Structure formats: structure tokens, C-alpha cells
Amino acid sequence: MNNHEIDFKLYGDDMQFVEVELDPQETVIAEAGSLMMMDDQIRMQTIFGDGTDNQSGLMGKLIGAGKRVITGESLFMTTFTNEGSGKKHVSFASPYPGKIIPMDLSEINGKLICQKDAFLAAAKGVAVGIEFQKKIGTGFFGGEGFIMQKLEGDGMAFIHAGGTMQKKVLEPGEVLKVDTGCLVAMTASVDYNIEYIGGVKTALFGGEGLFFATLRGPGTVWIQSLPFSRLASRIFAAAPERGGSKGEGSVAGGLFDLLGGDRK
């Protein structure tokens, strides 16, 4: 094994968190801002890149940090190392309602491709990089699906899916069409492309956009029912406009005022 071997336990249903158990000198890496709580004697350190051994030297660290900028993530990641003499625990929380999916990379040939905002945490040694879709149509029209993250290694990784998650195993040649935002992750063997949805009425009135992600087996894909972009757009659409009515109930109005809304 090249990765630290970590144990874990999931808690909750719709707003889950994962508790990782660390033996002495074991380390877990995580996205900045995902920490929920940790025991004493766990050292928290901010690093460039993902902390893998192949990022030696300043140039390697800069390349790793640059990859994270391309995917829209922070320059930094955070490591949590148990510097005590016994087992210690650190917990990471979901960013919004959904499910945390534990992935043993050694069981899926050492590589997982996921949405750029899906990664939550992983055992130290898991490389967090970028996966470009080489087909140019995907780049121009795929939206969320053009630049994805790839997780490589033989350890545990945790990704987050919004809403309800479904795992589908595709047989060789089997095709599944998915909204680009609803695709959480897929194994490396899945062929991924973007397909145009014909018909002017579909484009103007369908409400689902002009393009689908077309996934062709063999391989496994994970689908989410509530991508964050969809959740954010619903919240934004429902938010009261500046200068608008003070109606619609005091709860929503009070929340708007609390968040700094300026209503006349």
C-alpha cells in the first residue's frame, strides 16, 4: 500500500459527516473548510497541492497548486496528522444536503474521475489532479463536465453527492445520458462525451439545457439528484428582490435581513 490505511465511520442521513480514525502518524488530506471537529494531538497543516510524495521540490508543489486553480478549487489543501500515542479522530462534514460516498480506490483500478466540487477528503498518498476531456465539443458546451478531478492511488477517498445518490453499473456498450451537473463520479473505463439535444422547443422550453453527458460502459457511474449549481439557482430565484415587498412571511424576510439584505 502506498497510501495511509485509515478507518472511518459515517454519521447522519441527509446532512452526513465522516469520522476518520487515525493511528499514530497517520494523515488524512481534505479540502479547506471541510473540517467539522478533531481530537487533541492532531496537527493541522495547510499545504500546496495534495501532499503526495511525487510533488517534491518547489516546482512540484506549484504544479500541484496550479492544477487545483484550474479546477476552481483553492490553492491549498489541509492535512491532519495524528501526533499522539493512541488512536485519534477527525471529522469532515458535507457542504450541503446529500450523501458522502466512501471510495476504496484499490477496488476500482486506482483511479476515479469526479466533479471538481465533489472531493471531500482522502488518505494521505491519494493524488488529486485534473482530468481533461479531450473532445473539443465537451470543452465548449459541457458546462460542469469539461474539467473534472481525478483521484489516483490505492487508499480511501470520500466524495460528496447532493440530494439522493444512485450508483449504476454500465455493461459494455450500454449508454446512459445524464445532465452534466448530476454526474458525480465515474470509473476510468467509462467513455464520456457531450451530446447535443436536437429540437428548438427542447432548447427553449425544456429547461434542461442543450447538452447531455453521454456515458458509455463498461464501468460504474455515480449520479446525484441535487447538484449544487441547481440548489444555488433555486435559492437565488426564491430570494426577495431589493426594494421588493416585505410579504412572503416573516421567516424568509427575517433570514434575508440577517444575511445583510437591504430592503426598503
Per-residue pLDDT tens over the stretch 209-254? 567 788 999 999 999 998 877 777 778 888 776 544 444 445 555 5
Domain range annotation of the chain:
7-163, 238-264
Q: What's the Cα-to-Cα distance from 6 to each of 24, 44, 86, 126, 160, rounded to whole Å? A: 11, 17, 14, 12, 18
pLDDT tens digits, one per residue of 87-143? 999 999 988 889 999 999 999 999 999 987 899 999 998 988 888 765 545 444 444
Q: What are phi and psi of 244, to 5 degrees?
A: -80, -170
Q: What is the pLDDT of residue 3?
A: 73
Residue 63 sits at φ, ψ, to 5 deg, of -65, -45
Angle at 201 between CA 196 and CA 204, to 5 degrees: 80
Phi, psi at 144, each rounded to 5°: -65, -20
Mean pLDDT rounded to a whole number for the chain:
79
CATH of domain 7-163: 3.60.160.10
Inter-residue contact 194 to 216 (CB < 8 Å) = no
What SS3 string covers 181-246?
Answer: HHEEEEECCCEEEEEECCCHHHHHHCCCCCEEEEEECCEEEEEECCCHHHHHHHHHHHCCCCCCCC
